[in-house]
Chain A
Amino acid sequence: MVALCVVGLALFSACAPPAITKTGEQVGSLYNIVLVMATVVFVGVEAAIIYSAIRYRRRHGDDSLPEQFHGNTRIEVVWTVIPSVIVMALFVMSMKVLADVNHEQPSPLTVRVTGFQWQWKFDYFKGPDDDHLTSLGVSVVAAGQTSPPTLVLPVGERIHFQLESSDVIHSFYVPAWLFKRDVVPGRTNTFDITIDPTKIGRYEGQCAELCGDFHNEMTFQLQTMTSADFQRWIADEARKQAKLTTCSPSGTSLQISAQNTAFDTRCLAAPANQPFTIAFVNKDAGVPHNVEIFTNQSATERLGGATGPTDLVTGPATVTYEVPALKPGNYYFHCDVHPGMNGAFVVK
């Protein structure tokens, strides 16, 4: 009786937690089906072990030799076939759920997740597929190491994710989705998710792959809202961020500093057609940063500043970059080590 209660209690707390996505619910049900089968096998085998141990225990002073049977082909075939059938059935069920979990199709909204030591950046795009994306002008990034960013998502619609890393391997994990996918440098992983329309609220997310000292602080919040609320949020956010990323030049000596894995400004400006300098102060002890200017967010064509990911300043230290004259335009800068540290570079 006690044993039954313990098993029941263990089973109850060992059921899959509720999921907020349809595929997550499928994974949860599959887990619970396996759990029931596993419990039957567990109870059966443990009972057989305990029964045979107690039933056939040696009485005191019993020197007799039991019957020396060496095997029984028929029963051995039976207990090879039965587990094989169970395993095959589980495999078929698993593959069905796996196909649904990994299913991708064109989605109106794409979120590009960038993992870096030790924060997340979320960029919002719209577009029919991975090759035709238009930025929605919204980029969410943490204010610093200890204030996690919030990933805002609409419920009830299919959302496409792209995962990229700029340093080591991370893993993008939302326990409430019963899902994670690794964030691998040199590789773009993708998946789709649809959040249940009734699941509006705040949830936790976290990096699940060891990525260095501050791995356990690489968390984020997930805020889900209705489609209409989300449209309002993204429009507001785009306006706010556009404002943040406009500024005007005031001389040829620019200044920027980094502290707590964040720049002190999201916009730098320089006068057109004149060489200028950027005085960069890295206040993060033991953490490397730099400032590199690119033509745009894709950060492929360098214009000035640091010469690349190997040209780093480990704080506390100051460096002055000399940048040649640039033509008027709206450019982009970031820290090569922490792409979440970025901003607009205005030349006019």
Chain B
Amino acid sequence: MAVTEVRREERQPAEAPKRSTLVSWLTTTDHKRIGILYIGTAFFFFLLGGLLAEMIRTQLFEPDNTLFNFHRYNQLFTIHAITMIFLFVMPVTVGFANFIVVLQLGAPDMAFPRVNAFSYWLFPLGGILIWLGFLSPNGAAPGGWTLYAPLNQTLTPGSTPGWGTDVLIMGLLILGLSSLLGAINFLVTIFKLRAPGMTMFRLPIFVWTFLTTSMLLLLAMPAFTAGLAALFIDRNFGGHFFDPAAGGNAILWQHIFWFFGHPEVYILILPSMGIVSEVIPVFSRKPLFGYRAFVYATLAIGMLGFGVWAHHMFTTGAVYAPFFAFLTGAIAVPTGVKFFNWIATMWRGRIKFSTAMLFAIGFLMVFLIGGIDGVFVASPAIDYHLQDTYWIVSHLHYVLFGGSVFGIFAGFYYWWPKITGRFLSEKLGVVHFIFMLVGTNLAFFPMHISGLHGMPRRIAQYRELASIDPSIVMLNRLSTIGAYILGVGILIFIANALLSFRKPRTAAADAWGEGNSLEWATSSPPPPWNFDELPPIRSERPVFDARHSRVQPTPVSAEGGES
């Protein structure tokens, strides 16, 4: 509290140095502005990555389309994946965390505000570096986002010639540094800057999921960084880490990559699970069912996430499948627990279908398919058939699009009034949601079937396959139409966002009138110093407690209302 008071006096308008808006944004160390910068930049990259997705789907509309040549097509799906994972989902959740986690802790800023600004500025630098690859004479990196060796250390034409792959590796190293610094910053902030009364088991679930995400980053990212450096040396300085012809090991890359890559999946999905766990209780007017179980499930997913990496490598024949199959099956249990907790939270609630809540319910409905898919491929014998087919493409998009992206849009609608002081249109929001729900299932469900019938991923043409199984063409066309519907949905969201800025700032501190956590205890948008005063923190719902202080004693009868 003392800290907030001092800052508040420092920032009195009369004393503030005069700076242009642009300079103040470029030099800001305010976690809220950095959060907005993260979200804005990430959304820009989301549009670029989405454009690549539409190009990929357009190519696959015909089985022998020559719109893009093979080399260009390989670049499209490589950079699409890299952009969506490293330049959209990760940074946009970091953006939300920057803005929201600090407020939810009741803190004035991150523990290291300048490091925070540095972490942000590394992100566009890495992103631009990766996209610069398209200017290389050989184009951007064509070797898949998994960067498998020895393909990605082979510079001959047809493999990964030119510097497109080199700037990708450099960009990923920079983004890795950004993530590591950010993870340390968040851990210190969460452990050390909690407001008085905010014990660990009163932390909002979004903070818990981001705490777990930060731990995963801290443990997984160094392995990836070392692997990338080794790959860069192999490519440019005659190294042989992954070159079997010179005593290296091609499988070693996959171990390093997936030791990072599998926890990365949880880095991408846990924050969205956190967002959904904020939205559902608020719009159901109930506390999250089984708070502690939910926290333990999050930590269990995080820990088990480090023991399942080789389930991406069953078909290499180089791993002990039973061990990894067992742990992969085990990870379904805490995920299942979360589903039941979310449903039990809605049970006997008073559910309001705000757009944020629709996206949260959409997350449950769609991510469920991605989760169940995981149980199929946890069985190595089934995985032998499905690995590297469109079935896997379907599975991963149900997890990352139906899961992560739906959660992120729930976050957009839920926190937009807190961040901007304005509401997004609920009417456009519902239209946006319908386009997303229909588009997601139309784009990604048919891939299950085309993959099951043997269509490999990462191919620009599928003539032979289409000639023996003509239904594959129809399935691909459905996917393409679904992808276009998703594109329209995103345009509706952009229109909604732009239109909101023409409305007045009407959001109250507790914008939805039923917020639980501390971000709703300060004005919308919050002042630079965050809080003038904090409510007492006696549970994981301090704002709820303050609002309902008159109806304290628990079983609350139906006539209890809000002021």
A299 beta carbon closer than 8 Å to chain B = no
Contact B329 A90, beta carbon cutoff 8 Å = yes
| Whole-angstrom CA separation of A191 from B453 in the bound complex | 22
Min Cβ gap A155→B in Å is 19
Contact A181 B384, beta carbon cutoff 8 Å = yes
A298 beta carbon closer than 8 Å to chain B = no
**Residues B315-348 near A (CB distance < 8 A):** 315-318, 321-322, 325-326, 329-330, 332-333, 336-337, 339-340, 343-344, 346-348
The chain A residue sitting closest to B547, CB to CB, is A65
- What B residues does A27 contact at CB under 8 A? 381-382, 384-385
| Whole-angstrom CA separation of A94 from B326 in the bound complex | 10
Question: Which of B150, B351, B376 meets A167, CB within 8 Å?
Answer: B150
Q: Give the number of chain B interface residues (Cβ < 8 Å).
A: 99
Contact B459 A216, beta carbon cutoff 8 Å = yes
- What A residues does B177 contact at CB under 8 A? none
| Whole-angstrom CA separation of A49 from B291 in the bound complex | 19
Contact B290 A71, beta carbon cutoff 8 Å = yes
Contact B70 A216, beta carbon cutoff 8 Å = yes
- What B residues does A62 contact at CB under 8 A? 350
Segment at the interface with B among A132-140, A200-208, A327-335, A339-347: A200-208
**Residues B407-453 near A (CB distance < 8 A):** 445, 448-449, 452-453
Contact with B along A181-196 (1 / 0, CB 8 A): 1101111011100000
Q: Number of A-B pairs whose CB atoms are under 8 Å? A: 293
Question: Which of A71, A79, A94, A167 meets B336, CB within 8 Å?
Answer: A79
| Whole-angstrom CA separation of A51 from B332 in the bound complex | 23
Contact with A along B373-387 (1 / 0, CB 8 A): 001101111101101
The chain A residue sitting closest to B332, CB to CB, is A87
Contact A64 B350, beta carbon cutoff 8 Å = yes
Min Cβ gap B453→A in Å is 5
Contact B157 A57, beta carbon cutoff 8 Å = no
Q: Give the number of chain A interface residues (Cβ < 8 Å).
A: 92
Contact A17 B322, beta carbon cutoff 8 Å = no
| Whole-angstrom CA separation of A97 from B284 in the bound complex | 45
Most buried by B among A79, A178, A212: A212
Contacts A34-B382, A314-B157 given; indicate if A63 touches B562 (C-beta within 8 A). yes
Contact A219 B464, beta carbon cutoff 8 Å = yes
A3 beta carbon closer than 8 Å to chain B = no
Contact with A along B210-249 (1 / 0, CB 8 A): 0000000000000000000000000000000000110011
A80 beta carbon closer than 8 Å to chain B = yes
Min Cβ gap B448→A in Å is 6
Contact B348 A204, beta carbon cutoff 8 Å = no
Contact with B along A20-35 (1 / 0, CB 8 A): 0000001100110011
- What B residues does A167 contact at CB under 8 A? 150, 154
| Whole-angstrom CA separation of A70 from B286 in the bound complex | 8
**Residues A1-56 near B (CB distance < 8 A):** 10, 13-14, 16-17, 26-27, 30-31, 34-35, 38, 41-42, 45-46, 48-50, 52-53, 56
A214 beta carbon closer than 8 Å to chain B = yes
Min Cβ gap A102→B in Å is 8
Give 10 nearest A-B pairs by CB, closest first: A186-B244, A175-B454, A216-B459, A94-B379, A178-B385, A83-B336, A71-B290, A286-B157, A168-B151, A87-B329
Chain A positions near chain B (C-beta within 8 angstroms): 10, 13-14, 16-17, 26-27, 30-31, 34-35, 38, 41-42, 45-46, 48-50, 52-53, 56-58, 62-72, 75-76, 79-80, 83-84, 87-88, 90-91, 93-95, 97-98, 101, 117-118, 148, 167-169, 171, 173, 175-176, 178-182, 184-187, 189-191, 204, 206-216, 219, 286-288, 309, 314, 337
A to B CB contacts below 8 Å, 18 in the list = A13-B449, A30-B381, A30-B382, A49-B368, A50-B365, A53-B346, A68-B287, A87-B329, A87-B333, A98-B379, A117-B158, A167-B150, A173-B456, A180-B315, A182-B315, A185-B250, A187-B251, A213-B74
Seed contacts A14-B448, A87-B330, A204-B454; 20 additional CB < 8 Å A-B pairs: A14-B449, A27-B381, A27-B385, A41-B372, A53-B353, A69-B286, A71-B293, A90-B379, A91-B325, A168-B151, A181-B317, A182-B315, A182-B317, A185-B150, A185-B245, A186-B245, A209-B388, A215-B74, A216-B459, A287-B158
